[in-house]
Amino acid sequence: MESEQRQEIERLVERAAALGPAERATLLAGVSPELRREVESLLAFEQEAEDFLECPAWELEASAVEADTASLQPGTQVGPYRVVQVVGSGGMGHIYRARDTRLERDVALKFLPRRWSEDPQALERFKREARSASALNHPNIYSIHDVGEHGGQPFLVTELLEGRTLKQRLAEGPLEPDELVRVALQVADALAAAHAKAIVHRDVKPSNIFLARDGLAKILDFGLAKLISEPSEAPATAPAGPVAMQDTATLPGMVLGTAPYMSPEQIRRENIDGRSDLFSLGIALYEAATGGLPFPGGTPLEITEAILAKSPTPPRKLNRTLPRRLERVLLRLLEKDRARCYQSALELQADLIRSRAGSRRRWMWAGTASAVLAASLSLWPWHRDPEIAIRRVAVLPLRNLSASPGQEQLAEGISEAIVVDLAKLSGLRVTSSASARR
């Protein structure tokens, strides 16, 4: 294909991707049939790729089966993995619950559709998700255990999560302020870890935030993740500050992401860093707090124009139960001026903690309690005795024995800090205080 024709196709794809169905049809009506077929094919591919890679097993409907991908029967052996059942099937392939016969654990097998197996773009995104997620070992980032190929079809092996996405939870209404902060703190911690490894997610949204039954929130789908240039500039021991992004894996002119949750930098195709993820997280948290988007619109084009030019309605006007400090956090997350927004996920975490506890000094006790517990566990006899294996720990709710009702949040915060720290220990399954209470 000639270079000029390819550039024209890319320009049309970019414009069409931001339009609704009617506007898109009008745009493509004026081009040649050959160009229209190319543009429609690329648009369909991008949509299917996003749907498959962002859609976890628990969201797919098992009734929609695509004929080009043969379903594996229960008992089928895929390397060391024994298929237990089909969890979901469709045009985006199959996802199975399977048993890892080596480690005796349940996992999810996520297959790329057969017709994509020879498509370089699909394979690259598939591999990118595996590389990005596997580079991160964090309790709030879903784990990829393995990659492989079976019958000519590539597949991912991931942890099998039980629970639901934030998008599914929001169908029931906004989150309570305490629940909102709990989720936000965990997602911010995950983003801090990713940014410290020079990885920007680029598609933070409610359907990519999973609320597990054990109380942990996890970020899903690193299919659009990109490496920040110069990884050494963002060491793991330092806050993940602004670092320029080197985007070389997407087609020139293409805008990847999900329109309602894009940052202004993504829309303008500028260099992005961790602050872009924080803006997207701000949109998701605003929606979780109010039940609506901060930048609504009838079409993707209207939405992106609102993100670039409009200010969000103050969230307390839509939800009076929100504390003012939390409202300030949400509005700063949605600040378009990159010099005034949060510069790192660690800075966001600090403000979230202050919004809940009321003072930094109270939360110093939470960190101290967590550190003391970790030190105690390191000295505990079972840690040294190979005959005693502790595989599961329940963190019980702390009781507020003071006369101050305000200390309830402090007690809850200490429990949560302990859960997050313990979850970082490999081989230990942690039950949160909320689950233990039930």
CATH of the domain at 108: 3.30.200.20
Residues 353 and 413 both lie in one domain? no
Residues 20 and 143 both lie in one domain? yes
Residues 31 and 131 both lie in one domain? yes
- Per-residue pLDDT band at 293 (split at 50, 70, 90): very high
> Which of 124, 159, 194 represents a domain boundary (last residue)?
159
Residues 278 and 169 both lie in one domain? yes
Which residues lie below 8 Å from residue 376, measured CB to CB, with a gap of 6+? none
Task: Identify whether 203 is a catalytic site residue.
Answer: yes
In the predicted structure, residue 155 carries a pLDDT above the cut 50: yes
The values of phi and psi at residue 102, to 5°, are -80, -45
Query: Higher model confidence: residue 250 or residue 380?
Result: 380
Residues 113 and 227 both lie in one domain? no
Q: What pLDDT is stored for residue 375 in this prediction?
A: 53
CATH of the domain at 200: 1.10.510.10
Residues 57 and 84 both lie in one domain? yes
Residues 313 and 268 both lie in one domain? yes
Residues 426 and 331 both lie in one domain? no
Catalytic residue, candidates 189, 203, 214, 221:
203
Residues 324 and 423 both lie in one domain? no
> Which of 138, 159, 180 represents a domain boundary (last residue)?
159
Helices (H), 310-432: 324-333, 345-357, 360-379, 381-384, 407-423
- Per-residue pLDDT band at 58 (split at 50, 70, 90): very low
Which residue, among 432, 356, 372, has the nearest Cα to 398 in the 3D structure? 432
Residues 150 and 242 both lie in one domain? no
Range of the domain at 271: 163-357
Residues 304 and 196 both lie in one domain? yes
The chain-wide mean pLDDT, for the chain, equals 76
In the predicted structure, residue 318 carries a pLDDT above the cut 50: yes
Which residue, among 349, 376, 367, has the nearest Cα to 413 in the 3D structure? 367
Domain count of the chain? 3
Q: What tokens appear for 168 in the block?
A: 């599914």
Q: What pLDDT is stored for residue 316 in this prediction?
A: 97
- Please give the Cα distance from 184 to 104 (Å, whole number): 33
Q: What pLDDT is stored for residue 24 in this prediction?
A: 78
Residues 345 and 396 both lie in one domain? no
pLDDT digits (tens, 9 = 90+) for 223-273: 666 665 533 333 333 333 333 333 333 333 345 668 899 999 999 888 889
pLDDT digits (tens, 9 = 90+) for 163-221: 999 999 999 999 999 999 999 999 999 999 999 988 898 899 999 999 999 889 999 87
Reported pTM: 0.65
- Per-residue pLDDT band at 325 (split at 50, 70, 90): very high
In the predicted structure, residue 333 carries a pLDDT above the cut 50: yes
> Which of 108, 130, 159 represents a domain boundary (last residue)?
159
